[in-house]
Structure 1
Amino acid sequence: METKEQIRVVVVGPRGKMGREVVRTVLSDPELELVGAVDRTLSGVEVGQALGLPETGVILSTNLNETLVEAKPDVMIDFTNPNSVRAHVEAAIEYGVRPVVGTTGITQDDLRKWDEALRKQEIGGLVAPNFAIGAILMMKFAAIAARYMPHVEIIELHHDQKLDAPSGTAVKTAELIAKERKSLRQGHPNEEEKWAGARGAEFEGMRIHSVRLPGFVAHQEVIFGGVGQTLTIRHDSITRESFMPGVAMATKRVMTYEGLVYGLENLID
């Protein structure tokens, strides 16, 4: 029987909270092979030793370009930060490596530029604000509900070390809702904020509120109001393991298409 060739993966930021889970996921999936790991400051140390895992045979490097050349990966997985990820993605595409990005704060200009570059290389890439399958379903259900209950507000709650607000998931949810309803001025027309920001951010007439506290991982409520009723759609990621099935799926699916896909929901229809 012919053995299916493994997908070769480089993980950027393997010592971060998400990066550690990604490394574990790659190591445990028989269809994936960890061939490189790039850290911002630590090099020359075996990945398993650095992360408290069994020996992997992969040595940490601080040089992404060298790793992409020497390891010859098929996919680069990056959950770092917007300031770093742009250079990482551009390098990956240049070397014909497919980026799978979970970093939020990516601009529409970035997405357009990356899509064009990926198509020139005839490879695929993925940027997703959330990899939890339940969160993707929450966004889809919210978009459907908005057709019938257009008055809506979003509350997203994350750990207090998150850098961007609102979250990428909240932004994506709002964008999906906006496609299903017209822009709507919600609340009283003479509403006045006694404290600036009390009503949250505004997008196409809906309000988005960000909570940052220790103890949270990633949570979101989409609250709809109608005559005599409310509807709340909520998703909670209790641990970062919740994102890993989506990461594994994306890593495999990105091998099958060209251009950039924005949002994991586009891969699960």
Structure 2
Amino acid sequence: MISIVIAGPRGNMGREAVKMVENEDQFALKAVVDHRYDGISMKEAEGMEPLDIPVYKEIEACFTEEQPDVLIDLTNPETGKVHLRKALEHGVRPVIGTTGFTDEDIKELSAEAEKKKLGAVIAPNFAIGAILLMKLSRMAARYMDDVEIIEQHHDRKLDAPSGTAMKTAQMISEVRKEKPQGHPDETEAWEHARGAEYEGMRVHSVRLPGRVAHQEVIFGGEGQTLTLRHDSLNRTSFMPGVRLAVEKVMETTGLVYGLDEFID
């Protein structure tokens, strides 16, 4: 039995995670962490599942009193960073579903997880299909090295480009030499019309109501194009990946960035 605390239980992802944990025989939901409520049960809090589970405002108090095995954090980039560090300090294995971590953050947190001999997971995307898209993109880039990425998310997402797009570009760069793309003399009449640039690849971010999480990776070659696309149509699409991350973090030492490490 894996005991779990969830941070961010009122969000769209958090509500789905609560349901998933409650429905898994090998998981036990010990508590939730929410910045609005403290000292009550979930069934007394507006916007939460009607469960007799305690709600904490301070994550350190939650860790001290509940002593969970795993933290699932589905909050926001800044809060996620704080919660990850606090989890490691208290011997809790974090599964973080927020993005916005820098390379320096990941390096520092990796060292801390190794020092504590704990597993930790930061997942830019929990959808298994999105992970397969990343891995297939890496494969395709060996043979078609002109590539652009278009990612689309809801208009409440704080960071751009998405962690998924960044991770995809980083995985492609492992097999692709840095190179300029487009006409060598191209100009932008409007700044950033060609999107962000990463080692010559262009990354475009769309933010619109009605979107959930979508990504296209488009490869161009002589006389042909290849388009790989993944669409998450609702938040339940992320739950198999959350479940996988919780299971794997219990078997892992050190920080793993991206679920691709767990999928052959």
Same fold (TM over 0.5): yes
Look up the match of 2:201: 206
- Measured after TM superposition, the shift of residue 116 of structure 1 is 1.2
- Measured after TM superposition, the shift of residue 49 of structure 1 is 4.5
Look up the match of 2:96: 101
Equivalent residue runs for 1:19-38 within 5 Å: 19-38=14-33
Question: What amino acid is aligned across from residue 92 of structure 1 in structure 2?
Answer: A
1:151 aligns to 2:146 (yes or no): yes
Question: What amino acid is aligned across from residue 16 of structure 1 in structure 2?
Answer: G
Equivalent residue runs for 1:133-212 within 5 Å: 133-212=128-207
SS at match of 1:142: helix
In 2: Cα distance, 1:142 partner to 1:99 partner: 28
Where does structure 1 lack aligned partners over 5 or more consecutive residues?
A: 1-5
What's the CA shift string for 1:167-200, capped at 9, x where partnerless?
0000000001111110111110000001001000
SS at match of 2:136: helix
In 1: Cα distance, 2:99 partner to 2:260 partner: 16
From 78, 88, 92, give the equivalent of 2:87. Answer: 92
SS at match of 2:40: coil
Look up the match of 1:70: 65
1:259 aligns to 2:258 (yes or no): no
1:44 aligns to 2:50 (yes or no): no
In 2: Cα distance, 1:230 partner to 1:48 partner: 52
Q: TM-score, normalised by structure 1?
A: 0.95
Query: C-alpha root-mean-square deviation of aligned residues, in Å?
Result: 1.1
SS at match of 2:87: helix
Where does structure 2 lack aligned partners over 5 or more consecutive residues?
A: none
Runs of 4+ aligned residues of structure 1 deviating over 3 Å after TM superposition are 48-54
In 2: Cα distance, 1:59 partner to 1:75 partner: 16
Residues 15 and 52 of structure 1, relative CA distance in 2, 3 Å threshold: closer
From 197, 221, 225, give the equivalent of 1:226. Answer: 221
In 2: Cα distance, 1:12 partner to 1:134 partner: 25
**Larger deviation, residues 77-86 vs 88-97:** 77-86
What's the CA shift string for 1:188-218, capped at 9, x where partnerless?
0000001001000000001000000000000
In 2: Cα distance, 1:170 partner to 1:53 partner: 32
- Measured after TM superposition, the shift of residue 53 of structure 1 is 3.2
- Measured after TM superposition, the shift of residue 52 of structure 1 is 5.3
In 2: Cα distance, 1:132 partner to 1:162 partner: 17
Give the count of matched residue pairs: 263
- Measured after TM superposition, the shift of residue 44 of structure 1 is 2.9
SS at match of 1:207: strand
Look up the match of 1:80: 75
